Amino acid sequence: MNPAPADEPLGWLGIGRLGLVQSAIAAIVMLATSLLNRVMVVEYALPAAVPAGLVAWHYAVQLSRPAWGHGSDRGNRRTPWIIGGMALLAGGALAATWALGIIAGGSVWGYALAVVAFAAIGAGVGAAGTSLLALLATRVAPARRAAAAAVTWIMMVFGIAVSAAVAGALVDPFSFVRLVAVVAGVAGVAFLVATLGIWGIERGAAAPVDRARAPAPQFRVALGAIWADRDMRRFTVFVFLSMLAYSMQDLILEPFTGLRFGLTPGQSTQVSSVQHGGVLLGMILAGLAGSAFGGQSATGLRHWIFGGCVGSAVALAGLALAALVGRGWPVLANIFALGFANGIFAVSAIGAMMALAGGGTGAAPGADAGLRMGVWGAAQAVAFGLGGLGGAVAVDGMRGATGSVPESFMLVFALEALLFLCAAALALRAQPQAEHFGREVTL
């Protein structure tokens, strides 16, 4: 029996397999940004600025995402870029762990190795993640895009949760040797899962070249062509603003509940569980309802994006009031509502990215999907890097200026709400531009 054409839309099994790849990427990233972060500060007594700077550096390296995406556009297959990126990501996590041992020995070369290792982590995430999203954009049927976005992002959260649980259970009692074994084990299993998940999705190594597709232009030419598109620029600004607002509360939410509501450290850690529970529920709703009602185009998903952004702004406005009211405010319910709205927004935005990238301006639909996903991924990485640090710095700055903890958190949460409203306004300014995206329309 002859294989199906390489551009046949993916079924649910194929979407689930790509979700496994996303979960594998997230599992290794968790090791670098969470486990190693904690070990550097607690077990090795390094200044908190060291892991914070390394994590920021890995985000900065992801500015290379457009180049990785364009590279996968120029080839006929994205599988090698995904597997290669996973290898780079896993190798970077192992190198970062070895760097800790060298730092503990008192050598400055450990810091140099850590910088190189986190650069590899950022490049690996960029290569594998961008190519994976481009593959989803070009191979998922329009009616399934919202649901596919929900599946892959839910599996990303699942990968983080499983990796954190396994690594946390196995790393105690702590020793450097045990840490190396845990990181190597988790990274190795994640690489194997990703390889099995992607293998054969593009019909094997001998998949025929699509003769209808013209050779991709050089990177600078291709980037200039898509950046000349007003709608592309507008959507990139939307991604940056919305993801900046999305990430600003990452480092301040738990301290906020402790300072204003007297939650113990154990109770404060439950805040993350409550928020992620809301995120998962919002993702499921947006995935199911978005696919059933208007999920076949970016314009249809625009309304879900708008609702998620406005809902997030309302929830953040509630937290701003909570900062003033203090005890008595239903803060956990408020945080759950924030997570729920964030989940709706995130899945709808990713679905819209898939719809827009799956059209493109190349000689064939999706010909520049990798480059487009790369540009949006770079905007997201910059927003995440600035957002987490910016939220914490803003609270500290406000406390220094006002001397008031309640007012400091109120102003920062209000700023986040304003950013989400600006993102919602950008989503509403959408005008149908069918000539840019074939049957699709833009945000």
Q: Quick one: 241 and 165 in the same domain?
A: no
In terms of domains, do 263 and 363 share one?
A: yes
- Predicted TM-score of the model (pTM): 0.83
State the average pLDDT over residues 128-145: 89
Do the domain assignments include residue 208? no
The per-residue b/e assignment along 352-365, b for 16 or more CB within 10 angstroms, e otherwise, is bbbbbbbbbbbeeb
Q: How many other C-beta atoms are found inside a 10 Å radius of the C-beta of residue 396?
A: 12
E strand or H helix at 139? helix 109-139
Range of the domain at 361: 213-431
- Any residues with CB less than 8 A from the CB of 11 and at least 6 apart, and which? none
Q: What is the spatial distance between Cα 361 and Cα 229, in angstroms, rounded to a whole number?
A: 9
Residues 289, 413, single domain; the answer is: yes
pLDDT by residue (tens digit) across 324-353?
998 889 999 999 999 999 999 998 888 888
Residue 424 placed within a domain: yes
Dihedral of the alpha carbons of 437, 132, 379, 410, in degrees to the nearest 10: 110
**CATH number (domain holding residue 165):** 1.20.1250.20
Both 300 and 193 in one domain: the answer is no
Asked whether residue 194 falls in the same domain as residue 230, the answer is no
Helix and strand numbers (H, E) in the chain are: 17, 0
d(CA 171, CA 294): 46
| Assigned domain for 439 exists | no
Listed residue (125, 164, 123) closest to 34, CA to CA: 164
Average pLDDT across the chain, whole number: 85
Are 229 and 328 within one domain? Answer: yes
Contacts of 112 (CB under 8 A, 6+ apart): none
pLDDT at residue 251 tops 90:
no
Select from 203, 226, 244 the last residue of a domain: 203
- Give just the sign of the alpha carbon dihedral 424, 428, 432, 435: negative
Could you give the number of structural domains in the chain? 2
Which helix or strand (DSSP H or E) is residue 9 part of? none
Domain end (from 184, 203, 222): 203
> pLDDT tens-digit profile of 45-95?
888 788 888 988 999 999 999 999 999 888 778 999 999 999 999 999 999
- Statement to judge: residues 325 and 412 lie in one domain: yes
Residue predicted with more confidence, 214 or 174: 174
Residue 376 contacts by C-beta under 8 Å, 6 or more apart in sequence?
A: 235, 236, 239, 353
Residue 220 falls within a domain, yes or no? yes
Among 203, 237, 252, residue at a domain's last position: 203
How far apart are alpha carbons 135 and 79 in whole angstroms?
Answer: 9
Task: Write out the two tokens for 336.
Answer: 């759950």
Q: What is the pLDDT of residues 94-104, one digit of tens each?
A: 999 999 999 98
245-279: string of b/e by CB count within 10 Å (b at 16+)? bbbbbbbbbbebbebbbebeeeebeebeebbbebb
Note whether residue 53 is domain-resident: yes
